Amino acid sequence: MEQQSQHRANLPDAVLLQPIVATRSSFYYLALALLGATSFAFFAWVWQLRQGLGVTGLNVPVYWGVYITNFVFFIGISHAGTLISAILRLCDAEWRRSITRAAEVITVLVLFFGVGSVIVDLGRPDRMLNVLLHPNFRSPLLWDVCSISLYLTASSIYLYLPLIPDLAMLRDYGGKYTWFYRILALGWSGTDRQRRILHRAISVMAVLVIPIAISVHTVVSWVFGMTVQPMWHSTIFGPYFVVGAIFSGIASLIIAMALIRRIYFLQDYLKPIHFNNLGLLLLVMALLWFYFTFAEHLTTFYGNEPAHLIVFYSKLTGPYAPLFWSMVVTCFVIPVALLSRARTRTVTGTVIASISVNIGMWLERFTIVVPTLSQPRLPWAKSAYSATWVEIGMTLGFGATFIFLYMLFTKFFPIVSIWEVQEGREQAVPEVVARVRSYLPGTVATTGQSEE
């Protein structure tokens, strides 16, 4: 027994198994706090079910508010995982190895909260099944249902497949819940044939997941884009939302990585270079996002159509100006300032930028949804929209529950893909050397360690 634990402790990457093996008391305290927020949200939800949607701050004409903002926001974050890890895999970017698992988990978990946000927004959630029984395929919301279901399925598979070797490792480790790991590991024994199939499957999924992911946030944007409402009916909404999704996704990933790095002592695996690379990606997305936002607003301004200008000015100088300009600062000014210089593109720097981005992107969703609704084409009575405790409680509860579930995941599964890190250590270096050699003139592409 003693020997076994010694052996375990001396395993390379033993720290990656540490969260599964042992749980500190801080976990329980944090879990309790988060579950407290969850129960508050649950209470708010039950209250809303019993009273009606009137307990929110919604009114005429602002029929959508915080809940739909959350929906778009959470679905946006879901692009973190799958898209990032899929793209990085396809590009053979070696620095992805420690990141992919953390990213994929974000995706799978947050999709539930995205869907949950829509469900709590329904006036009749008890009639939810009508969506399956009487679908109207001309409705963008129904495209959402299909697309998100597909994405959830694909992402789950895409999370599960690379998890299999780690599950096998856990099965063989002989700790708690071995039976659980055995079932999930599907009899993985690491043979060449299995590895080949696995790699093939992962590659196929990586290719499939990308268009699915893009379609998800495109159809979410089309919920707004397919109406005729001013500043919703915009042709660039599809790509704009996808860019925004990837943007907030990367930011969420950075935050998650920084947290698990600190809490689980993964400094060796999540190094400044990872944050640096992700920070560069974040910078690119920030610039792209700004480009789209600028184009969107400039064309509206030039178009000079009265109905559009009313919404436009309500965002730039009117009641929503504070939110709008905060969004610009938090989505563009702060991130670009921090990420464009290598000196500030540190772990801390990228985390600050990411937090700023996430706040900004939530504001961005809000300033897309609410100003258009509050300035309808026909000038009916104005009612200001301000969220009530129910909406705020549910939002915080959703966030807390998400964090809790993420934490729970780390307790049962390794948050860094162990076998991929090992693979990187063992096989990736020579592969990369060979690859680079193949680019350069005068050498024949060879594999192996000839000119080490």
Partner 1 sequence: MKLKVNRRNFLQFAAGGALGVATSEISLRGLSDFNAAISPEEVEVPGGPEAWRLSLCSLCPARCGLRVRTIGSRAVKIQGNPLHPVNHEGLCPRGIAGLQALYHPDRLRAPLKNLGTRKSPRWQEISWEEATVAVTNRLRELRQTGRAHTVVCVDRREPDLFSRLLRRFLSAYGSPNYLAMPSGLAALQTAAYLQQGVTKSIAYDLDNTRYLLSFGVNLLEGWGAPTSVMRSFGRWRDPAAGRRTKFTQVESRFSLTAARADEWVALRPGTEAALALGLAYVLITEGLVDDKFIRDHTFGFEDWRDATGKSHLGFRSLVLSDYRLDDVSTLTGVPAETILRLAREFGRSRPALAIGDRQTSTLAGHPYAAMAVHALNALVGSIDSPGGVLLQADLPWSDEDAKPSSLPHPRIDQAPEHPVPGHSLARLPQAILSRKPYSVQALLLHDVNPVFGLPNGEAFRQAFAEVPFIVSFASFLDETSALADVVLPAATDLERWQAADSPPTFPFAMVSIAPPAIAPRNAARHPADFILALARGLGEPVSSALPFAGAEEYLRRQVGDLFAAESGTVFSTSLEETWHRLLERSGWWAPTYSTADELWEQMKQQGGWWEPTYYYGQWDRVFQTPSGRFEFFSQLLSRWAAAHPEFARAAGLGQGDDRLFLPHQPPLLEASPEYPLLLLPVEVLPLAGGHGAHLPYLQQIAGPHLFAHWDSWMEIHPETAHRLGIADGDRVWVESPRSRAQVRARLYAGARPDVVHLPLGYGHTEGSPWGRRGVNPLHLLEERYEPLAGIAQTDRTYVKVYRT
Partner 2 sequence: MPRWGMAIDLAKCTACQACIVACQSENNVPCVPPEEAARGRILSWINILPELEGEYPRLTMRLMPIPCLHCDSPPCILVCPVGATGINPEGIVRQTFSRCIGCRYCTNACPYTRRVFNWYKPEFPGEFSQALNPDVSVRPTGVVEKCTLCHHRLLQAREEARAADRPLAEGDYVPACVEVCPAGAMYFGDLDDPASSVAELARSPRAFRLLEELGTHPKVIYLAQGEWSSGTTESTSR
- Residues in the interface with partner 1 (CB under 8 A) total 9
Residue 1's binding partner out of partner 1, partner 2, none, with CB under 5 to 8 Å set by partner kind: none
Rounded to the nearest whole angstrom, what is the least distance from the CB of residue 207 to partner 1 in the complex? 22
Contacts of 399-403 with C-beta under 8 Å, sequence gap 24+, read 399/37, 400/33, 400/34, 400/35, 400/36, 400/37, 400/38, 400/41, 401/34, 401/37, 401/38, 401/41, 401/113, 402/109, 402/110, 402/113, 403/34
Phi and psi dihedrals of 274, rounded to 5? -65, -45
Rg (CA), the chain: 24
Rounded to the nearest whole angstrom, what is the least distance from the CB of residue 131 to partner 1 in the complex? 10
Q: What is the C-alpha separation between 433 and 417, in angstroms, rounded?
A: 23
Q: What is the C-alpha separation between 273 and 270, in angstroms, rounded?
A: 8
- In whole angstroms, what separates CA 86 from the centre of its chain? 13
Do 155 and 107 form a contact (C-beta atoms < 8 A)? yes
Burial grade of 430 (CB within 10 A; 0-12, 13-18, 19 or more): middle
Interface stretch with partner 1, choices 127-135, 265-273, 279-287, 301-309 (CB under 8 A): 127-135
Residue choice 1, 91, 126, 304 for contact with partner 1 (CB under 8 A): 126
Contact partners, residue 16, CB within 8 Å, separation at least 6: 266, 269, 414, 415, 416, 418, 421
Rounded to the nearest whole angstrom, what is the least distance from the CB of residue 149 to partner 2 in the complex? 13
Residues 376-395, interacting with partner 1 (CB under 8 A):
380-381
Interface stretch with partner 1, choices 16-24, 78-86, 119-127, 265-273 (CB under 8 A): 119-127
* Residue 200 makes contact with partner 1 by CB under 8 A: no
For Cα atoms 386, 390, 392, give the angle at the middle one, nearest 5 degrees.
65
Residue choice 1, 91, 123, 129 for contact with partner 1 (CB under 8 A): 129
Helix/strand/coil percent split, the chain, to 5: 75, 0, 25
Residue choice 7, 24, 127, 199 for contact with partner 1 (CB under 8 A): 127
Residue 373's binding partner out of partner 1, partner 2, none, with CB under 5 to 8 Å set by partner kind: partner 2
* Residue 124 makes contact with partner 1 by CB under 8 A: yes
Q: What is the C-alpha separation between 403 and 398, in angstroms, rounded?
A: 9
- How many C-beta neighbours within 10 Å does residue 299 have? 13
Residue 446's binding partner out of partner 1, partner 2, none, with CB under 5 to 8 Å set by partner kind: none
What is the residue type of 101?
A: R
* Residue 192 makes contact with partner 1 by CB under 8 A: no
Rounded to the nearest whole angstrom, what is the least distance from the CB of residue 367 to partner 2 in the complex? 16
Residue 381 or 440 with smaller CB distance to partner 1: 381
* Residue 203 makes contact with partner 1 by CB under 8 A: no
Residue choice 132, 273, 378, 444 for contact with partner 1 (CB under 8 A): 132
Residue 61, preceding peptide bond in cis (omega within 30° of 0): yes
Interface stretch with partner 1, choices 105-113, 129-137, 209-217, 347-355 (CB under 8 A): 129-137
* Residue 199 makes contact with partner 1 by CB under 8 A: no
Rounded to the nearest whole angstrom, what is the least distance from the CB of residue 137 to partner 1 in the complex? 17
Residue 61 or 335 with smaller CB distance to partner 1: 61
- How many C-beta neighbours within 10 Å does residue 226 have? 16
The CA-atom distances, in angstroms, between 344 and each of 134, 191, 338, 341, 400 are: 54, 45, 5, 6, 29
> Footprint of partner 2 on this chain (CB under 8 A)?
51-54, 58-61, 63-64, 118, 121-125, 127-128, 130-131, 133-136, 138-142, 145, 223, 226-229, 373, 376-383
Interface stretch with partner 1, choices 120-128, 236-244, 402-410, 422-430 (CB under 8 A): 120-128
Rounded to the nearest whole angstrom, what is the least distance from the CB of residue 151 to partner 2 in the complex? 17
Residue numbers at the binding site for partner 1 (CB under 8 A): 124, 126-127, 129-130, 132-133, 380-381
